[in-house]
Structure 1
Amino acid sequence: MEYRKISIQIDPFQEWFRDVLTSQLAEIGFDSFVEIEEGFEAYIPSQLFSLRDFDKVVSAYDDDYDFLINSEIIEDQNWNKEWEKNYFKPLVIGGECMIRAPFHTEYPNAKYEIIIEPNMAFGTGNHETTATIVESILQNDLSGKTILDMGCGTGILSILASMKGAKHITAIDIDKWSYEGTLENASLNNIQNISVKLGDAALLGDEKFDLIFANIHKNVLLNDMEAYHNVLNDGGTLIMSGFYTEDIPDIKNKAESLGMKDAGYVEKNNWTAHSFLKEIE
């Protein structure tokens, strides 16, 4: 998939404002962000980029901030070499899960060791949305459960769920690299009980799940939440991430309108992972 990369430097730079701006860009289709000095890099599939929508987001702050913006097209490629050179380092989450790439030669020991070929910021475990769900998986007994991983990225959550004893995992992503990456990473970790599918919530049919992870943008969550609810077993849990703390009311209202019970949330640097329980009827 061809991507557009937009580098933005902010003057005066404020970390909280960077978070606000990345959140709003995520609403219009940007799916990955990398922090740089006094700004960030934002990535979006080229076919989804709208200059009008982008200008609308940024120009709203012209009175208070100056922006230095550069844009470039990144041809269809595997992202491994870029991440190997610049970004991806061995990472331990929750004291128990260590995530590394095959090229790492020095790394700490941990109870669960996941090897991945990284492909962008979302999915390496470095982003708060992935880390918070990893922590939730570590805290729960998944033995014998059926799992749905929506927006599976590199497959980290699916792989850890398998290591934690899940019976079967269905991993779905709309991005070709994520689909292929999850297949590759499952093989790297000798995981054989993950079914990987290319697509979105339209793929969901009659299969039922005990636990669903949905690490996607807010608008997609709101649009697809009913589909998740329909395939969730009574007594099952839906964990959603990919949105900010200030978005909780919208997410909660939608979930409760479907009859789900708020089971609490965790917050990390203003990113949120919110759990909901489908009560037994």
Structure 2
Amino acid sequence: MPFYELTLPVTAVQAKSLERILTDLGAVGITYQDDSNVPIYEPLPGETPLWDFLKLTALFDNEPSANGAFQLLSIHLPGVEILRTQLQDEIWERMWMQHFKPMRFGKNSWVIPDGYEPLDADAINLFLDPGLAFGTGTHATTALCLSWLDQHDVRGQHWVDFGCGSGILAIMALLQGAERVTCVDIDNQAIEATVQNARKNNVEQGIEIVSPEAVSEILHKDGILANILAAPLLQLRPIFADMLKPGGQIVLSGILAEQQKQLSREYAQSFIDIECENLEDWVRVSARLPR
């Protein structure tokens, strides 16, 4: 069964009302893209920023609904160019997984996607179905964190995965011997993927979910994994410091090479032993609180 897309330029003011109208007209999904080349970085918990000018794409699972929506939009938005596209029936969110194959991180850690068997049965093998959540190990930012976990002893510790995505970092920490990992994400889909993947790896008993609104309750932890982006990381430094016990560690990723110095200077206000490692255009920053 084919799907149908309508794409049109809108303002942020128009977006919410049009979203409700299109949903009522049968849209099964609505997405936004920047239409003015203004970046929005990873938001802080509770934030839902939106561009001033954007492209709205509405997905319909039948042609009559798409045509009806097109006609209504044409009447109420005269002069606005509305692009109509017919899509073949595909599981779009999974098509990219044909390029996702078993990968090794460090000396002894593997990520094994669904449909593959471990290449080394004696290694630490993490079985993963990311679904729609970010985090497979294919991106340099995730790879940098997985390599850090392969090289450091987290046995018996309680860590935080801030922005857990697919849960890949939390699960790897548990497979490496961590006792517990507290997971935080603003996306409910990410939390669902984390729980499912933890169950797949038989470590769900080690996962604790905390809502973004309750992060102030996270205290006295051994370490924090945060693979998000530099902008929120800069703001989160005092919050992260409060989450950790003396000597607690941070492992930060999602940082572009040109952002490394600024972020390192910010974290030097609370942390010591700052170390950086590059992969492609990305940087991992690790450090610890003084004891």
* Length-normalised TM-score, structure 2: 0.69
Deviation of 1:165 after TM superposition, in Å, equals 1.1
Aligned to 1:4: 32
Q: Pick from 128, 134, 152: which aligns with 2:140?
A: 128
Larger radius of gyration: 2
Aligned to 2:125: 113
Whether the 8 Å CA contact 2:134–2:190 is kept in 1: the answer is no
| Partner SS for 2:178 | coil
Deviation of 1:115 after TM superposition, in Å, equals 1.1
Number of aligned pairs? 226
Q: 1:71–1:123: structure 2 CA closer, same or farther, 3 Å change rule? A: same
| Partner SS for 2:217 | coil
Deviation of 1:182 after TM superposition, in Å, equals 0.2
Q: 1:98–1:211: structure 2 CA closer, same or farther, 3 Å change rule? A: same
Q: Pick from 89, 94, 103: which aligns with 1:81?
A: 94
Look up the equivalent residue of 2:196 and give its one-letter code: E
CA distance in 1 between partners of 2:145 and 2:178 (Å)? 15
| Partner SS for 1:147 | strand
Q: Pick from 254, 264, 271: which aligns with 1:260?
A: 271
CA distance in 2 between partners of 1:74 and 1:255 (Å)? 43
1:174 matched to 2:202? The reply is: no
Aligned to 1:216: 228
Look up the equivalent residue of 2:147 and give its one-letter code: E
Aligned to 2:155: 143
Look up the equivalent residue of 2:226 and give its one-letter code: A
- Which residues of 2 match residues 20-39 of structure 1 at below 5 A? 25=39, 28-29=40-41
Deviation of 1:30 after TM superposition, in Å, equals 7.0
Aligned to 2:51: 50
Look up the equivalent residue of 2:154 and give its one-letter code: L
Deviation of 1:79 after TM superposition, in Å, equals 7.0
CA distance in 2 between partners of 1:177 and 1:79 (Å)? 16
1:195 matched to 2:208? The reply is: yes
Whether the 8 Å CA contact 2:252–2:284 is kept in 1: the answer is yes
Look up the equivalent residue of 1:231 and give its one-letter code: M
Aligned to 1:157: 169
CA distance in 2 between partners of 1:79 and 1:152 (Å)? 22
| Partner SS for 2:224 | strand
Look up the equivalent residue of 1:174 and give its one-letter code: I
CA distance in 2 between partners of 1:101 and 1:79 (Å)? 17
CA RMSD of aligned residues (A): 2.9
1:271 matched to 2:282? The reply is: yes
Deviation of 1:82 after TM superposition, in Å, equals 3.5
| Partner SS for 1:190 | coil
Q: 1:3–1:208: structure 2 CA closer, same or farther, 3 Å change rule? A: farther
| Partner SS for 1:99 | strand
Aligned to 1:238: 250
Deviation of 1:196 after TM superposition, in Å, equals 2.3
Q: 1:30–1:171: structure 2 CA closer, same or farther, 3 Å change rule? A: closer
| Partner SS for 1:105 | coil
Gaps of 5+ in 2: 1-28, 61-90
| Partner SS for 2:177 | coil
- Sequence identity, in percent? 27
